[in-house]
Amino acid sequence: MGLRCGIVGLPNVGKSTLFNAISSAKAESANYPFCTIEPNVGVVTVPDERLQILEELVHPERVLPTIVEFVDIAGLVKGASKGEGLGNKFLANIREVDAIIHVIRCFDDPNIVHVAGGVDPVFDKDVIDTELQIKDLESVDKKIQKVERTAKAGDAKAKKELASLLKFKENLTAGKNARSLEASEEDLEAIDDLKLLTIKPVIYAANVDEASINSGNKFVDALKEHVKDENAEVVVISAAIEAQIAEIEDPDDKQMFLEEYGLTESGLNKLIRASYSILNLITYFTAGVKEVRAWTIEKGWKAPAAAGVIHTDFEKGFIRAEVIKLKDYQEYKSEAKIKEAGKMAVEGKEYVVQDGDIMHFRFNV
From the annotation, which residues make up the binding site for ATP? 12-17
Q: CB of 181 within 8 A of CB of 187?
A: yes
- Is 156 exposed, middle or buried (CB count within 10 Å of its CB: 0-12, 13-18, 19+)? exposed
What's the angle, vertex CA 34, arms to CA 31 and CA 38, rounded to 5?
130
- How far apart CA 236 and CA 215 sit, in angstroms, is 9
- How far apart CA 50 and CA 43 sit, in angstroms, is 20
- How far apart CA 143 and CA 146 sit, in angstroms, is 5
Alpha helices by DSSP H, 153-300: 156-173, 185-191, 218-226, 239-246, 251-260, 267-278
Q: Tell me the binding residues.
A: 12-17
Q: CB of 65 within 8 A of CB of 28?
A: yes
Indicate left, alpha or beta for 75 from its phi (over 0: left) and psi (-120 to 50: alpha): left
- How far apart CA 283 and CA 353 sit, in angstroms, is 9
- How far apart CA 205 and CA 1 sit, in angstroms, is 24
CA distances from 120 to 100, 117, 177, 229 (A): 20, 9, 20, 19
Name which of 346, 324, 348, 327 is nearest 336 in CA terms. 324
Q: What is the CA radius of gyration of the chain?
A: 23
The set of residues, in sequence order, having a beta carbon less than 8 Å from that of 157 and lying 6+ positions away, is none
What's the angle, vertex CA 238, arms to CA 212 and CA 31, rounded to 5?
145
Strand partners of residue 41: 38, 71
Query: What are the φ and ψ backbone dihedral angles of 103, each rounded to 5 degrees?
Result: -80, 125
